[in-house]
Amino acid sequence: MNLLNVFLQAQPQQNGWMSILMMVLIFVVFYFFMIRPQTKKQKEIQKQRAAMKAGDKVVTAGGIYGKIKEVNETTILMEIADNVRIKVDKSSVYVAVEDAQQATTTK
């Protein structure tokens, strides 16, 4: 405990502006390296979900691969095998990796 007191007393007194500037700098770093990329990724996922149509290959958040048969406002009817169809929430479905790679290479 004594060593901690020595270090705390040895630091020069900073003015209020310097500490506010450091807090702003920390927020800016967090924004550009964590918050902004995450929101950008979320917008891209939302755009992909809005563009989903019948016949697209998708994967659910649980790892089930299938093909879209019908798209509703909040749900998707997907076929996972011959004559095996399941209804899943639209927010838990992502474009299959191979389809996403083909879409980015054709742009």
Domain ranges of the chain: 15-50, 52-107
- CATH code given to domain 52-107: 2.30.30.60
Are 88 and 80 in contact, with CB atoms under 8 Å apart?
Answer: no
Q: What is the pTM of this model?
A: 0.60
pLDDT band at 100 (very low <50, low <70, confident <90, very high): low
d(CA 94, CA 65): 10
E-only strand ranges, the chain: 57-60, 65-71, 75-81, 84-89, 93-95
**What confidence tens digit (pLDDT) does each residue in 16-65 have?**
677 788 888 999 998 999 999 999 999 998 998 888 899 999 999 999 99
